[in-house]
Chains A and B, each alone.
Chain A
Amino acid sequence: PPSSLLRSLLARSQVGGALLARPAAATTGRTFATKASKAGDDDTPFEVDVAPFQVHKLESFPEPKVETTKKEVLAFFRDLFRMRRMEIAADVLYKGKFIRGFCHLYDGQEAVCVGMEASINYEDAIITSYRDHCTYLGRGGNMYEVVAELLGRKDGCSRGIGGSMHMYLRENNFYGGNGIVGAQVPLGVGIAFQQKYNKKRNCTFTMYGDGAANQGQGFEALNIAALWDLPVVYVCENNHFGMGTAEGRASKSPEFYKRGDYVPGIKVDGMDVFAVKKAVAFAKEFVVENGPLVMEMDTYRYHGHSMSDPGSTYRTRDEVSGIRRERDPIERVRKLIVEMELATTAEIKAIEKECRKEVDDAIEKAKACPEPPVDWLTKNIYSSKPNSFEFVRGTERGIQHEAY
């Protein structure tokens, strides 16, 4: 684009004025794919190339080409962007002390849950760790419920009692939201067992991180899953750091997709939403027929482990910004949209604006929501009466709070 001096010179003449009026960045003369979609053609499929999948003990595995449509790409962009905005807003809220406790942010990893949801339905189950805000959204939860839960208000998805780490959505088979590292992995296998037992053609995605990959209970449950051919996908979201410990210093073998040994595995670029979509579609088909599969998502988190961790004592800022530059999931999708002219800059900006508004509205509404009433402290400890305890023993002798 012309410098400001040149600009002012050009503006004085008629020809110069015409030159200035042309759009600054023109995508000229480049065809991206043979079946390129034009604006207005929502459902024509076209192919996107992804990185080849690395596999372990898999004879047939997916081609590195993914079919998608303009509609889907724009939906991906919207979902990725709104998740990113929500996590960044959560950062600000935490620093403003609206969110207390522990807050583990997912920004950088959004492509994993967005890509997954594109290939599965709500009859399939997901269970994950404490880094669950975006997974909850992906499962069909709404942003107000997430933000209200983070703020500890009664309209939150767990009534304000669970907090950041414990978000659940029963009707869409999202089993949370678990604070203890690795404890959710065997639970996922149990869910898969129930699916097989009830003869459903659905599967379970039991998600954990590279740190949790070393928990013994994961291996115990994997053995059971393989023995009984359970439809479970072990999704290792490898963001390369178990809090402050790099994967190489915690795991003898950081090739997590091979950790299953006798269980086949596949490694996916977890920051490419299309690769995730393809791999997950393959995984679902595979496990329903054949038993467990280990899927490693190579991803990255921009924030530290949680809001108490600056994220810079064990990795360089250059590393983080490098990943942001090269592999950011949102930027990749944006680049695709721009290069294939799936939407104009104005349309992209409009989507972004809508997402920002959604986040702002959710925050405003959540801030206005009241906290749960104090007597909910004794609620839901046991199943409701008359099954069990009448009262919860309190600290004052002779005064008891009702349990319900």
Chain B
Amino acid sequence: MFSRKVLTPSLFSRFATTLVQRSVKTTPVSLGSPYAIRGDPSVASGQVKEKMNLFTAINSAMSIAMENDPTACIFGEDVAFGGVFRCTTGLREKFGEKRVFNTPLCEQGIAGFAIGMASMGVTAIAEMQFADYIFPAFDQIVNEAAKYRFRSGGEFNVGSLTFRAPYGAVGHGALYHSQSPEAYFCHTPGLKVVVPSTPIEAKGLLLASIRDKNPVIFLEPKWLYRSAVEEVPIGDYEIELGKARVVKEGSDITIVGWGAQLHVLADACEKAREDQGISCELIDLRTLLPWDRETVAQSVKKTGRLIISHEAPKTCGFSAEISAAIQEECFLHLEAPIQRVCGYDTPFPLIFEKFYVPDAFKNLQAINETVNY
């Protein structure tokens, strides 16, 4: 049984000091996670590969989508010169100003406009400059885009619509440049929510999202835009939506994550293996809505233990959905309660970011507790 401990300020600051000290000395586990996991090597293995980082891979995906689909358009704030994260570099020069254009500063307008375009069958790729700014568009996305097909009995749909937004912690983003809003959208039937974790994954998932016949929210981990580099196939390839990937096979515990957090989890798994010989099975969910229940359930039936981790706050984070669903399906297989290692239930802080994020140490502790339950 675990004991309920109340962490008094002094206890917490001691924990925090240890955290900081350890982060300075030890590698590879660190508070600022290095880019640990590589994309699925079996994807498009026959193609020529080129070294790309995340934003270049996304750029490549959009370029291919635009080439093959003459109706495709990219728009959003400041995308014409390349975008604040360089994701749309060179696209305006290549495809012209009628297909890659800036919008004024109005997210609700962008969303409504994109929905209108998509309802005519045009492939609309709309960018929200930061996921934190998606909220003025929330009504349009949830009430219009998600329900169009349903309310018109199939007459109309906005399947050719994709919203792209950078999400997640970046080290100094504070309240409004670090949020992870995936849970709000996963709560809306009619949408799909996709989160890549490496450049190979991002390109394949984005191409699949653009071509998917449903409105997709594509959340890009901004932490990885520059730091994630790998050899990415230069041609056209897709990664199926709704299928998770088992990144590392293991036998003692299942760990589920997505996006930038996957690399943090990989660190924790590596440390657990080194220090305690715990064999972790790491799963990249890739698509959050609809999420791959089967793969996760199969894994939990094998290991009997589950940890889910994300930066978003704990209460009603997407881990709650996974947790509830898995305990329904795998109750008798579970050896320990399912743990969720998440951000605190506070707004995303500026000065306290290092303490807020669910880093490798917190995950390592959770792994230990769960395995030794």
Binding site for B on A (CB under 8 A): 100-102, 152, 160-163, 165-166, 179-182, 211-212, 214-217, 242-245, 249-251, 313-314, 371-378, 381, 391-402
Known: A100-B350, A394-B314, A396-B365; 6 extra A-B contacts, CB below 8 A, are: A179-B175, A215-B106, A242-B77, A374-B13, A375-B12, A395-B341
Let me know if A243 and B77 touch, CB within 8 A: yes
By DSSP majority rule, is chain B's interface helix, strand, loop, or mixed? loop
State whether A100 and B172 are in contact (beta carbons under 8 Å apart), knowing that A250-B105, A395-B341, A397-B339 are contacts in the complex: yes
Q: Closest CB of chain B to A327's CB: distance in Å?
A: 25
Q: Using Cβ atoms and an 8 Å threshold, which residues of chain A touch B358?
A: 395
Give the residue of A163, A242, A371, A378 whose beta carbon is less than 8 angstroms from that of B174. A163
Q: Using Cβ atoms and an 8 Å threshold, which residues of chain A touch B314?
A: 393-395
Let me know if B2 and A397 touch, CB within 8 A: yes
What are 25 residue pairs bridging A and B, where the CB atoms are less than 8 Å apart in the complex? Answer: A101-B173, A102-B172, A160-B351, A166-B175, A179-B176, A180-B132, A181-B105, A181-B133, A211-B104, A214-B104, A215-B106, A243-B78, A250-B102, A375-B12, A377-B349, A378-B346, A392-B344, A393-B315, A395-B341, A395-B343, A396-B362, A397-B2, A400-B4, A401-B7, A401-B12
Let me know if A249 and B339 touch, CB within 8 A: no
Q: Using Cβ atoms and an 8 Å threshold, which residues of chain A touch B347?
A: 381
Interface range, B side: 35 or more
B138 close to A (CB within 8 Å)? no
Q: Using Cβ atoms and an 8 Å threshold, which residues of chain A touch B355?
A: 374, 377
**How many A-B contacts if CB must be within 8 Å?**
137
Q: Using Cβ atoms and an 8 Å threshold, which residues of chain B touch A243?
A: 77-78
Q: Closest CB of chain A to B91's CB: distance in Å?
A: 16
Q: Closest CB of chain B to A294's CB: distance in Å?
A: 18
Binding site for A on B (CB under 8 A): 2-7, 9, 12-13, 16, 77-78, 81, 102, 104-106, 108-109, 132-133, 135-136, 171-177, 314-315, 337, 339-347, 349-352, 355-356, 358, 362, 365-366, 369
Q: Closest CB of chain A to B105's CB: distance in Å?
A: 4
Distance in angstroms between the alpha carbons of A243 and B136 in the assembled complex? 19
Give the residue of B6, B136, B344 whose beta carbon is less than 8 angstroms from that of A393. B344
Give the residue of B78, B108, B176, B341 whose beta carbon is less than 8 angstroms from that of A180. B176
By DSSP majority rule, is chain A's interface helix, strand, loop, or mixed? loop
Give the residue of A214, A242, A391, A398 whose beta carbon is less than 8 angstroms from that of B2. A398
| 3 interchain residue pairs of minimum CB distance | A214-B104, A152-B351, A375-B9
Distance in angstroms between the alpha carbons of A206 and B342 in the assembled complex? 37
Let me know if A162 and B2 touch, CB within 8 A: no
Distance in angstroms between the alpha carbons of A222 and B78 in the assembled complex? 27
Let me know if A251 and B104 touch, CB within 8 A: yes
State whether A400 and B7 are in contact (beta carbons under 8 Å apart), knowing that A152-B350, A377-B346 are contacts in the complex: yes
Q: Using Cβ atoms and an 8 Å threshold, which residues of chain B touch A395?
A: 314, 341-344, 358, 362, 366
Q: Using Cβ atoms and an 8 Å threshold, which residues of chain A touch B341?
A: 395-396
Q: Using Cβ atoms and an 8 Å threshold, which residues of chain B touch A166?
A: 175
Give the residue of A372, A391, A397 whose beta carbon is less than 8 angstroms from that of B366. A397
Q: Using Cβ atoms and an 8 Å threshold, which residues of chain A touch B135?
A: 180
State whether A398 and B3 are in contact (beta carbons under 8 Å apart), knowing that A214-B104, A250-B104 are contacts in the complex: yes
